[in-house]
Amino acid sequence: AKSVFICQNKTIKKNFEKFFDFNVKTKVVDLWPGIKIPREIIKPEWFDDFYCSKSIIALCPYTDVRMSHKGFEDIYKAYEFFKDNNIKVLVTSDKHGYSNNDVFSFCGNCSYSELHFLYSQSNLIIFNSLFETVGLPIFEAQYYGLPVVLNNVDYVRNLCNKFNDLNFIILESKEVRFNLEKVKNIKIPSNHTCFTGEWDQIQAFF
């Protein structure tokens, strides 16, 4: 019998095959998972107290800022850049030693329905992660046409090769600074492969 392993991207597939050294009866494929949009979008109770229509709202959809590979420390160090450009950064994590101030607001973890409300009210996404298998918030944000600020690292370059028509802002250095002229809402068609995924192809491998 043939075994099939499904990975979410080519990098994981390559490393998986190299590590296990599979025989010819084993097939490893990479299929994009796509995203799911919640049936209901819910506004968090605290949102009206946070929202300011005169500011640029940058959502940082991290569940825990302590995870070092998420690169949050560099985001927090960019306080002056955000302040000078009237950007309010909303972080979906508890503070864990950081502080709320006139730029950063930590709202704590929220439900999936609340997260999608936050996408719908934001102007851009900051996702400074150094490594991801997929990085679903990147593509959930694309559903709302939002530009996503990304680190110039391997998984991001792989995503750019796979999807060369999405709304990405790639950082030029470790510093979280970018040209605000690039902050534009670009509507991506709802039938785009980044949303629908490729898992309907699974049966072809059996």
Degrees to nearest 5, angle at CA 23 with 19 and 29: 70
Sequence-ordered list of residues with C-beta below 8 angstroms from that of 86, at least 6 positions apart, any chain: 54, 55, 56
Q: What is the DSSP string of 109-159?
A: ---HHHHHHHHHH-SEEEE--S--SS-HHHHHHHHTT--EEE-SSHHHHHH
Sequence-ordered list of residues with C-beta below 8 angstroms from that of 33, at least 6 positions apart, any chain: 8, 134, 136, 197, 199
What's the CA gap between 88 and 105, in Å, rounded?
A: 8
pLDDT at 204: 74
pLDDT at 158: 87
Which uninterrupted H or E stretch holds 174?
Answer: none
CA-to-CA dists, residue 150 to 126, 163, 169, 177, 178, angstroms: 7, 14, 6, 11, 10
Q: Is residue 38 within 8 Å of 110, Cβ to Cβ? A: no
- pLDDT tens for 164-190 read 899 999 999 999 999 999 999 999 999
Q: What is the pTM of this model?
A: 0.89
* Structural domains of the chain, with CATH: 3-34+196-205 (no CATH), 47-194 (3.40.50.2000)
Degrees to nearest 5, angle at CA 153 with 195 and 30: 45
- pLDDT tens for 91-101 read 999 999 999 99
- Going by pLDDT thresholds of 50, 70 and 90, the confidence category of residue 40 is very high
Residue 101: Cβ within 10 Å count: 11
What's the CA gap between 192 and 186, in Å, rounded?
A: 13
Residue, of 32 and 68, whose pLDDT is higher: 68
